[in-house]
Copies of this chain bind each other. A is one copy, B any other.
Amino acid sequence: MNKIAIAIHGGAGTITRSDMTAELEREYLGGLENSLKAGWEILRKNGSSLDAVEAAVVALENFPLFNAGRGAVFTNEGTNELDASIMNGINLAAGAVAFVKNIVNPISLARLVMEKTEHILLAGDGAEQFARQMNVESANDAYFFTEHRYRQLLEAQAAGKVQLDHAKLTENDQRKTENEIQNSKSKIQNPIGTVGAVACDAFGNLAAATSTGGMTNKKFGRVGDTPVIGAGTYADNRTCAVSCTGHGEFFMKTLAAYDVAARMKYKNLSLGAAANEVIEDLFAIGGEGGLIAVNALGNIALPFNSDGMYRGFVTSDGAMNVEIYR
């Protein structure tokens, strides 16, 4: 049998020990461990990588501290809009949803798009209509209301700022008009706020899944990299499975997830070298974030160029590793 492996992330950005309490740190690490266990249990019993990444992301979506599913940030209108995507490395089948509301587990809806339609990406009202046809679990707005997210929205609105999750407001930002901030990319610091999983199962099959609540105070139906196959998520048995997190637009223009696979295929790089190059190139154009990747030998890579990335992995030795800081 093939060596099994799973890696997960809960977002990357400015995550420093000084901003963290011991209690909050324990909560985060517990959330990561629960997700890893959910995925690992499936892999260990010779389940599929697709089932494992879905289960791991479902656990992260249900955990209120990560920006996906229940813990999603609020848009400018005070709603929670959710994006997710999943890809099967066996046959390049993929499914994704963009800005759906009230769906408890967007990643499972993305999987249904992959398995029950001939499409890859469904968005908005249409995707919700599809969810109702599929009897996907939904919840009212109260389920998605988390105090800390709502406070972030009020703070962002007070500053007139479109914010990635966990972006901090400086005194300088407070003085900016919304328009100035809109036109100045550098004002959005510390991107964070996606969850994801990649896995290799006992049959050497790869899968990747990513889910997010987007950016605090976002407007205009902005779609980031998470529901874009090749940007936020990619899986191909011949190369690797990848899930990204960070400032989405940079991952979109560099096709970061697919680019790891492309460098393996066309440059014959190892998984680790390909993943590192992609994160270095991202940094070179000002993009902050990280990715998790696995290949069909059960090797993993978790590079990031931010201060921290909520992350965890289990490889063939069965030892569980969860980390936050650099």
Contacts and interface: CB of A to CB of B under 8 A. Distances in A.
A203 B126 CA distance: 44
A223 B263 contact: no
Interface of A is mostly: mixed
Which residue, A120, A123, A258, has most C-beta atoms of chain B within 10 A?
A120
A146 interface: no
Instruction: Name which of A123, A229, A230, A258 has the most chain B CB atoms within 10 A of its CB.
Output: A230
Contacts of A263: 266
Interface stretch (A37-45, A168-176, A249-257): A249-257
Given A266-B262, A266-B267, A120 B221 contact: no
Contacts of A117: 182, 220
A120 B262 contact: no
A317 to B, nearest CB: 33
Contacts of A254: 92
A231 interface: yes
Interface in A228-258: 228-231, 249, 252-255, 258
Contacts of A116: 182-183
Contact of A188 (B118, B125, B130, B262): B118
Interface in A125-146: 125-127, 129-130
A221 B253 contact: no
Nearest to A188: B118
Interface string A8-28: 000000000000000000000
A222 B255 contact: no
A119 interface: yes
A118 B184 CA distance: 7
A253 B229 contact: yes
Contact of A130 (B122, B220, B223, B231): B220
A118 B221 contact: no
B123 A221 contact: yes
B120 A252 contact: yes
B222 A126 contact: yes
Interface string A260-276: 00110111000000000
Given A118-B183, A263-B266, A266-B262, A126 B220 contact: yes
Contact of A94 (B123, B252, B265): B252
Interface in A199-216: none
Contacts of A184: 118
Nearest to A259: B262
Nearest 4 A-B pairs (CB), nearest first? A126-B221, A266-B266, A126-B220, A262-B262
Given A116-B182, A120-B253, A126-B220, 20 more contacts: A93-B253, A98-B123, A116-B183, A117-B182, A119-B222, A120-B252, A121-B222, A124-B124, A124-B125, A126-B219, A129-B219, A228-B228, A229-B231, A229-B252, A230-B231, A230-B255, A258-B258, A262-B262, A263-B266, A266-B267
